[in-house]
Amino acid sequence: MARLLPGTRALRTLEAAARHLNFTRAADELGLTPAAVSHQIKEIEDQLGMTLFTRTSRTIRLTEAGAVLFEASTDALDLLGRAVSRARKMTRGTELLKVTLDAQFATKWLMRRVDDFRKQRPGIELRFDITYDVRDFDLDDVDVGIRFGAGKYPGLCTHRLFDNIIIPVCSPALLASGPPLREPRDLFQHTLAHIEWVRQGVTWPNWRMWMAAAGVDDFDDSRTLVFVSSTDATQAALDGNAVALADFAMVANDLSEGRLVRPFALGIKVAPEFAYFLVYPQASVNDPRIVAFREWLLEEVAKTPTVDKNPGGAA
């Protein structure tokens, strides 16, 4: 009887086709042609002796049998994915720790300090999954994560890392050669960059908000450069192309080493519930690798200077 069941590849095709109800979109997701998807679905139907989709010239729909198989294939693939993730973690031993985090935190903060961890904990090998995607600890081959959010992650242990304070930064060359920056209105003569980010009704500080905090009420933000990621906005400042709003904790090293300067002390705090968090499954709270990484990370965070130590403070 088991020989009558579709294989994993066929189940993926069935699941994608049923989810999209469109063979072309399913094909794009799977890296196949629409004809190949249609052929695989026909093979499954012939193998099982039942019709799973009704087709017209314009649409496809699931039959009752197809709906049952769609639900079952989704559950089966999810269960298999979780089992594979667990198996991978078991087979790679106890020396390897996989950390998932975004590019901003990786390049601007963690990578500058990771050699220190390796010296302190030579028995633990760190590997990194650099992505803005939120990983699933049950499905993905990762052990701990550093995420930006509101810290509400059911089933996970969380440790708040930084309070985010957004400040204006630019390159020393821009400050020296461009129009002078003596007061906030002088920024009108420069290219201004920021990111666009809204979550749960909270907006990441932008130039309109910074100008309002600085007492400038006639700022036109239509000519600002808007980036998707903080990394790109900060790079525009490093390249001397713009004055950017940046997260102080992420550019502290650039400031202390002279690659960036703060033309104005004024900073804006992000909504207090949002911050970077170290996260990992509650079941892993006593994992020696995670304990070591957690203790080291929190010690390093405590050493990181805050914007409040600089003249002017934050708004």
**Residues contacting 279, CB < 8 A, separation 6+:** 144, 145, 146, 147, 153, 156, 157, 158, 159
User: In this structure, is residue 314 part of a structural domain?
Assistant: no
Both 85 and 134 in one domain: the answer is no
Tokens representing residue 188 in the block = 């009108």
Which pLDDT score, from 0 to 100, does residue 74 have?
Answer: 86
The Cα–Cα gap between 280 and 140 comes to 12
- Residue 134's φ and ψ, nearest 5 degrees, are -85, 120
User: In this structure, is residue 313 part of a structural domain?
Assistant: no
* Number of domains making up the chain: 3
Domain end, chosen from 44, 75, 90, is at: 90
Both 121 and 83 in one domain: the answer is no
User: In this structure, is residue 311 part of a structural domain?
Assistant: no
Instruction: Catalogue the long-range contacts made by 198-207 (C-beta closer than 8 Å, 24 or more residues apart).
Output: 199/149, 199/150, 199/274, 200/150, 202/270, 202/271, 202/273, 202/274, 204/166, 204/270, 205/166, 205/245, 205/268, 205/270, 206/245, 207/245
Amino acid at 91: T
Please report where in the chains the tokens 């713009």 appear, as a residue: 242
Which pLDDT score, from 0 to 100, does residue 241 have?
Answer: 93
User: In this structure, is residue 187 part of a structural domain?
Assistant: yes
Domain end, chosen from 36, 68, 90, is at: 90
User: In this structure, is residue 315 part of a structural domain?
Assistant: no
Q: Which residues of the chain have pLDDT under 50?
A: 1-2, 308-315
Which pLDDT score, from 0 to 100, does residue 312 have?
Answer: 37
Both 138 and 229 in one domain: the answer is no
Which pLDDT score, from 0 to 100, does residue 213 have?
Answer: 95
Q: Taking Cα atoms as reference points, which of 41, 54, 34 lies closest to residue 15?
A: 41
Both 12 and 75 in one domain: the answer is yes
Both 40 and 136 in one domain: the answer is no
Which pLDDT score, from 0 to 100, does residue 80 have?
Answer: 78
Which pLDDT score, from 0 to 100, does residue 2 have?
Answer: 47
The Cα–Cα gap between 170 and 73 comes to 53
Which pLDDT score, from 0 to 100, does residue 200 have?
Answer: 75
Which pLDDT score, from 0 to 100, does residue 308 have?
Answer: 47
| Domain extent at residue 214 | 165-272
